[in-house]
Amino acid sequence: MSKKILAMLLAAVMLLGTFGAFAEEVKDLPREETLYFGGQQWDPIVGYNPLGDNMNNGLILSAAPRGTRTVMFETLYMYNGLDGKLYPLLADGDYAWNDDLTVLTLKIKPAAKWSDGKPVTADDVVATWDVSTKIQNGTYTGYAPYIEGIENVDGAVVIKAKLNDEGKPANPLQVLNFLCGVYIVQKDWAEGLCAKHNDDQTAIRTDPTPDAVYSGPYGPYFANDQLVAFVRNDNYWGQDASMWGKLPAPKYLAHTIYKDNDATLVAFQAGQIDVNQQFIANVQKLWEEQGLPIATYSDEPPYGICATMPTAWYNMDIPVMQVKEVRKAIAMAVDYDNIIENAMTNQSPSFADVPRSVMNPTAGEQAMYDHEAVKDLQWVGKDYEGAKALLDAAGIVDSDGDGWREYEGKKISLKACCPDGWTDWQAAMNMVAEAGKAIGIEIIATFPTWDQYQTVFTKGAQTEYEIFMWSPAGAEPAAPWSRVRAFMSSEFVGVDNNWSGNFGHYKNERIDEIIKQIPLTTDEAELKALYTEATKIYLDEVPSFSLMYRPEVFHAVNETVWTGYPEKDDGNNIPPMDCTDGYGIAALYNLELVK
């Protein structure tokens, strides 16, 4: 008898469980009112805390000066990679530096309001900095070396730059990055959060804050392990004439959480994703052969705006990599055209079109160094004979006749690594390995998991990977200075958990001086001379070499439901940044239904 009761109880529990699963909050998302994204969110979100770390909320929390996603929380300015300018968002008009670049002043737009109706004020900016300082979050660690403090002076925001030993500002360019790279939070809300957790730093940083007060056009709608969605705040202040003058077109923004790239691509092809941030091999075949209503920024190669360059770094912690000739020889032997044609399927300009330097391929940066002065240092790639001659001359030869060259009596065997599943990078590493084979240096392409990879290459010292891939800073207010720094600054040598640059731990005193000098130089000719010298050192020493150019974010759209996305030469000056990043968010206001 008791067994029967037990069985029935169990059955009842299971039945209730099923109901429970169905009862889970799933709100309506009418297709004609929702803009679906792809390639931004791979796991369920953790929370909405703009002051926190690891919220894993791709659609709203992605703060990078090149294009901060201002869907829910907003920055003072928005960066536009197309013209390299800052456009005011919460800020009112242009910022102003004082003469010696130590104090930056800006005003807040009078129309700017929080989601609770209170106005955004200079006090909120001050509180953002003060609370970040208190809880030592990413904003603080990222900008504390450059910002002394922020004050409210008669309603204006005054940012004081940190001064170095010589009494000069540490880095005015990084202060500009702050303007477009940090979410501003409400003072009352932030202080309330601190009080709630008794100023416990970790507790504040990890609070998911689903009820956060925000200033952006969208707020939380719902999120589960399959989907995350945001709903438009119809009282959004941006509909004021001083900002956008209207509301963004889609009522909802949503992101289905797909298993992997393939699943995302299939959904994109089927029109279930409108805006896709994903590398798609042979993207042109989607419209040319499959006839799908899919478009990219431009329908001719490279299909988007390339602003960064995935780079192979040499690990200077390994003795053989300290030999300049080995570094240069490998770089000379790599077949870049093959990488660009086959690994990137032509979604990158070639190095013949845009010769290598410390600059990204945008016209603005290309004009910042003297192309003629570094011409002799360029290499074309696939130059096996030149590479072999260089190695022979340096005494790196194959003395035991096994087909592989030796260094100090030992066969040179290098590992070339990039994370598994990063398709175009994997193919590129394979081609680096092929180049090695052609010049008698054994290079083995290895693809560790992302988890493993990221802990190794960011170490202060590592001897696991001889060659590995990562991208330096792309387009941002501080570029190309930030890229020179990321390529060669010795400040990162020996720093653990280093995500900022010089992952190969290269050292050069002259370049360190240049890196110090550039931010304080305003004379254009002088600046150009410094950048040219930096490029010279980079091309001569080859501490790393770029394999291709690549967009910061991939941007492909399916026009089944929505249209009116940014396109090349449309005169709108909106960058193809997935309709959310930096000034790219302006695209949301131009969307229309296809009907």
Whether 334 contacts 547, CB under 8 Å: yes
Q: Shortest approach of another protein to residue 420 CB, angstroms?
A: 5
447 binds another protein (CB under 8 A): yes
Q: Which is nearer to another protein, 266 or 352 (CB)?
A: 266
Query: Interface mask (CB under 8 A) for another protein, residues 358-397, using x and -?
Result: ----------------------------------------
Q: Shortest approach of another protein to residue 413 CB, angstroms?
A: 8
Q: Shortest approach of another protein to residue 304 CB, angstroms?
A: 13
| Strand pairing class (306-308; 562-563) | unpaired
Sign of CA dihedral 535, 539, 543, 549: positive
Q: Which is nearer to another protein, 406 or 559 (CB)?
A: 559
Residues from 319 through 338 that contact another protein (CB under 8 A): 338
Angle, helix 509-517 to helix 481-488, in steps of 10 degrees: 160
Q: Which is nearer to another protein, 175 or 334 (CB)?
A: 334
Nearest alpha carbon to residue 61 among 556, 576, 551, 581: 581
- Choose which of 43, 289, 496, 509 interacts with another protein (CB under 8 A): 289
- Choose which of 293, 301, 349, 386 interacts with another protein (CB under 8 A): 293
| 88 phi/psi in degrees, rounded to 5 | -65, 140
Whether 295 contacts 565, CB under 8 Å: yes
Angle, helix 172-181 to helix 481-488, in steps of 10 degrees: 100
Q: Which is nearer to another protein, 46 or 292 (CB)?
A: 292
Q: Which is nearer to another protein, 384 or 447 (CB)?
A: 447
Whether 529 contacts 340, CB under 8 Å: no
Residue appearing with tokens 């600059």: 359
Segment interacting with another protein (CB under 8 A) among 89-97, 107-115, 151-159, 282-290 = 282-290
Residues whose CB falls within 8 Å of the CB of residue 343, separated by 6 or more in sequence, listed in order = 423, 424, 425, 427, 428, 431, 547, 548
Whether 271 contacts 560, CB under 8 Å: yes
290 binds another protein (CB under 8 A): yes
- Choose which of 280, 390, 418, 539 interacts with another protein (CB under 8 A): 280
Whether 209 contacts 48, CB under 8 Å: yes
Residues from 297 through 316 that contact another protein (CB under 8 A): 299
Q: Which is nearer to another protein, 107 or 415 (CB)?
A: 415
Q: Can you list the alpha helix ranges (DSSP code H) found in 167-253?
A: 172-181, 187-196, 201-206
- Choose which of 136, 206, 272, 342 interacts with another protein (CB under 8 A): 342
573 binds another protein (CB under 8 A): no
454 binds another protein (CB under 8 A): no
577 binds another protein (CB under 8 A): no
138 binds another protein (CB under 8 A): no
- Choose which of 56, 242, 256, 269 interacts with another protein (CB under 8 A): 269
Nearest alpha carbon to residue 496 among 505, 506, 488, 487: 505
Sign of CA dihedral 14, 256, 428, 346: positive
Distance CA 341, CA 215 (A): 44
- Choose which of 453, 565, 583, 589 interacts with another protein (CB under 8 A): 565
544 binds another protein (CB under 8 A): no
Residues from 404 through 433 that contact another protein (CB under 8 A): 413, 415, 420-421, 423, 426-427, 430, 433
341 binds another protein (CB under 8 A): yes
Q: Which two tokens stand for residue 105?
A: 């002043």
287 binds another protein (CB under 8 A): yes
What number of chain residues touch another protein (CB under 8 A)?
46
Segment interacting with another protein (CB under 8 A) among 30-38, 223-231, 294-302, 512-520 = 294-302
Q: Shortest approach of another protein to residue 436 CB, angstroms?
A: 9
- Choose which of 53, 191, 325, 434 interacts with another protein (CB under 8 A): 434
| Strand pairing class (410-411; 406-407) | antiparallel
Sign of CA dihedral 17, 22, 27, 33: positive
Sign of CA dihedral 385, 387, 390, 391: negative
Query: Strand 147-153's sheet: what is its strand order?
Result: 91-97, 103-108, 156-161, 147-153
Interface residue list for another protein (CB under 8 A): 262, 265-266, 269, 280-283, 285-290, 292-295, 299, 338, 341-342, 345, 413, 415, 420-421, 423, 426-427, 430, 433-434, 437, 444-447, 557, 559, 563, 565, 567, 570, 592, 594
